[in-house]
Amino acid sequence: MRLHEYYFGNLIKESQALDQESPLLLAIIKEFGSYENWEKDFKSMGAMRGIGWVILYYDVSAGRLFNIWVNEHDVGHLAGATPLLVMDVFEHAYILDYGINRKEYIEKISACWDWSVVEKRFLVVANNF
Ligand SMILES: [Fe+2]
Name, in order, each residue with C-beta under 8 angstroms of 35's C-beta and a sequence gap of 6 or more: 18, 25, 28, 29
CA of residue 54 to ligand 1 center, whole Å: 12
CA of residue 52 to ligand 1 center, whole Å: 8
Q: What is the largest CA-CA distance in the chain?
A: 43
CA of residue 105 to ligand 1 center, whole Å: 13
Q: What is the pLDDT along the chain (129 residues), one digit of tens a residue?
A: 999 999 999 999 999 999 999 999 999 999 999 999 999 999 999 999 999 999 999 999 999 999 999 998 889 999 999 999 999 999 999 999 999 999 999 999 999 999 999 999 999 999 876
Residue 117 is part of which domain span? 2-127
Distance in angstroms between the alpha carbons of the first and the last residue of the chain: 27
Quick one: pLDDT at residue 85? 98
- CATH at 87: 3.55.40.20
The structural domain count of the chain equals 1
Q: Give the Cβ contact number of residue 25 at 10 Å.
A: 19
